Amino acid sequence: MQRVNYCEIDLDAIRHNVGVMRSHIAGGAAFLAVVKANAYGHGAVQVARAALEAGASMLAVAIPEEGIELRRAGIDAPILVLGGVEEAAADAIVAAELTQVVFDEARIRALSAAGVRLERRAKVHLKLDTGMSRIGVRTAQEAQTLTRLIDSLPGIELTGCFTHMATADEPFREGTLDQIARFEALTAAIAQVHPAPIVRHAANTASIFRYPQAHYDMVRGGIALYGYPPVPEAQGLWPAMRWVTRAVYVKTIAPGDQVSYGGTFTASRDTRVMTVPVGYADGYRRGLSGKGCVLVHGQRAPILGRVCMDQVMVDVTDIPGAQTGDEVVLLGAQGDECISAQEMADWLGTISYEVLCSPSARVPRVWLHA
């Protein structure tokens, strides 16, 4: 590592968070760990292994490439691909033994043909749109038509169906209760034409803590896996990511001196400026300019002026002893202080999910307690 700039990932926190979510599961439902988007920036292979060790029985990714990465790393647990795919991806999906989400005839036929070619059975989950209006079938007739199609074709097998909750993390409950009712109606319609048991799942992270009636056969744990609660009921989680760097320069500027592009900060006193070798090319967002802060010696150091592509300047005037080489924490704890992904999201006007996904590929991940 030529530059001190890395995300420290605590895999014990991942294991702990799986345990927290599993303790809320009703009726013996299985636990699926969502490791899409490189496990929300935490490292898909390492997080997947930790989650499986802690009791997850299935994994979920967004695209086939993410599932294939896990297979190449030797992970043989069931993997669900949550997003729609090109028909041309069918062979790769079947070869990697991924379970693919389906919601239309073309993809079902493509997966069936791939299963026949490869002499395997493509496993699929039928996506039901109960209110997200993203992907999935909306009516009982559509669900039955596609179920019959799957059952009539060689090389393909219906092993599950699911939906996704749009407002389970909101204070009003009517929308989620309506989605649960729609899901039950659609799954009942599927059972009329496919009496063999399949895995039904509807609960996202918020629903794990709020809607035990939606746990069915399996629940899907996402943001809480990484230590962030989508609802107040999600207590006892441990954040898993800590983003760390080291100061490369400290200088004193005079009143009237300006800092960074555009001169948006002007010193009103003698000011000690620390330069940190991280910028928006690392995923430390430019929107933090003049809003955010970092931790130095366990104290908050405000950002001065605009975040640059590769560097950012912070005010350490009131932090005695701050100097070149000091550890700087961009995200996470240092001493008694902590900058959470939620606090950073509030500065940016976004959500903790986006913050956790922000550190770019040039920020190495370092895994603790592997």
CB atoms within 10 A of CB 286: 14
Tokens 């969502």 correspond to 34
Cα–Cα dist 166/135, whole Å = 12
Q: How far is CA 280 from the centre of its chain?
A: 20
**Cα angle 246, 285, 270; round to 5:** 55
Catalytic residue among 36, 226, 280, 284: 36
Look at the chain and count its residues.
370
| Backbone angles phi and psi of 328, in degrees to 5 | -125, 125
The answer to whether the CB of 335 falls within 8 A of the CB of 245 is no
Give the pair of three-digit tokens for residue 161: 């169906």
End-to-end CA distance of the chain: 20
Based on the residue annotation, tell me whether 36 is a catalytic residue of this protein. yes
* DSSP secondary structure, 223-253, as one string: GGGGT--SSTT--S----EEEEEE--EEEEE
Catalytic residue among 40, 226, 261, 280: 261
Cα–Cα dist 113/120, whole Å = 10
Quickly list H helices, the chain: 11-22, 36-41, 44-53, 64-72, 90-95, 105-118, 140-152, 174-193, 205-210, 341-348, 352-356
The answer to whether the CB of 326 falls within 8 A of the CB of 246 is yes
Cα–Cα dist 22/19, whole Å = 5
Q: Residue 26 contacts by C-beta under 8 Å, 6 or more apart in sequence?
A: 212, 213, 215
| Backbone angles phi and psi of 249, in degrees to 5 | -165, 140
The catalytic residue positions are 36, 261
